[in-house]
Amino acid sequence: MSRITVIGGTGYAGSAIALEAAARGHRVTALSRSLPEAPIPNVAHVQGDATDEATLSAAIGGADVVVGALAPRGPLADTFRDVYRTIARLADAAGVPLYVVGGYSSLRPAPGADRFVTDLSHIPAELHDEIRAGAALIIEDLPATPATLDWVFVSPALRFGARMPGERLGRYRLGDDVAVQPEDGGAISAADYALGFVDLVEKGDHHRAQVNLGH
């Protein structure tokens, strides 16, 4: 049993990870600005703003594992990378690993090829900032952290998210920084992403690395 703090633990990805981890007997704390109408079973919900360092420090302080499930949208659009820099610094100081929910666009179509994010011409322009902010975590910010910080950046398949929830198949494929379904981007449901995500946390066999989960 581990104490797992999920920052953004009521969101699309974060709530699925919190649910999966709690179902396996981990002691899960979910941090978000608002409390959910329907609390996740066996999860301790904590209300707080991740832009506040004292809030983050308290949330990370009692954890064995930190999960970042924030999204670079809305009020966090401009502060997302700074918030993750603080999370990384606090996790490093606490000596606990950081697992980050990432995006598809930071993956590559083939080994050594450019990441998808280098050409966003086929993606609506209003999504570019969000995609670039998410990708910057794995391209610049996480590799720049001290070597003492253990992090894993977990990208989903292309079709993932609240608008395409998918179904629980009870399986997933795990890849590195090359998309496991590069032919069409693939898909993964929140439940199966969470399955793979919590398996990664429990095994602890990836270090300072990007991985991806697809069906």
Ligand X SMILES: NC(=O)c1ccc[n+]([C@@H]2O[C@H](COP(=O)([O-])OP(=O)(O)OC[C@H]3O[C@@H](n4cnc5c(N)ncnc54)[C@H](OP(=O)(O)O)[C@@H]3O)[C@@H](O)[C@H]2O)c1
**Least CB distance to ligand X at residue 88 (A):** 15
Is 33 in contact with 48 (CB distance < 8 Å)? Answer: yes
User: Closer to ligand X at the Cβ: 1 or 78?
Assistant: 78
To the nearest 10°, the Cα dihedral for 153, 156, 157, 162?
A: -150
User: Closer to ligand X at the Cβ: 1 or 88?
Assistant: 88
- Which residue is at the shortest CB distance from ligand X? 11
Q: Which residues contact 97 (CB under 8 A, 6 or more apart)?
A: 65, 66, 91, 150, 151, 152, 201, 204
**Least CB distance to ligand X at residue 16 (A):** 8
If residue 199 lies in a helix (H) or strand (E), which one and from where to where? helix 190-203
Interface residue list for ligand X (CB under 6 A): 8-14, 31-34, 49-51, 69-71, 76, 101, 103-104, 134, 156, 158, 160-162
**Least CB distance to ligand X at residue 12 (A):** 3
Pairing assessment for the beta strands 209-214 and 173-175 based on DSSP bridges: antiparallel
Q: Which residues contact 43 (CB under 8 A, 6 or more apart)?
A: 9, 18, 19, 22, 28, 29, 30
User: Closer to ligand X at the Cβ: 74 or 147?
Assistant: 74
**Least CB distance to ligand X at residue 190 (A):** 8
Pairing assessment for the beta strands 65-68 and 43-47 based on DSSP bridges: unpaired
**Least CB distance to ligand X at residue 144 (A):** 18
User: Closer to ligand X at the Cβ: 148 or 155?
Assistant: 155
User: Closer to ligand X at the Cβ: 12 or 191?
Assistant: 12
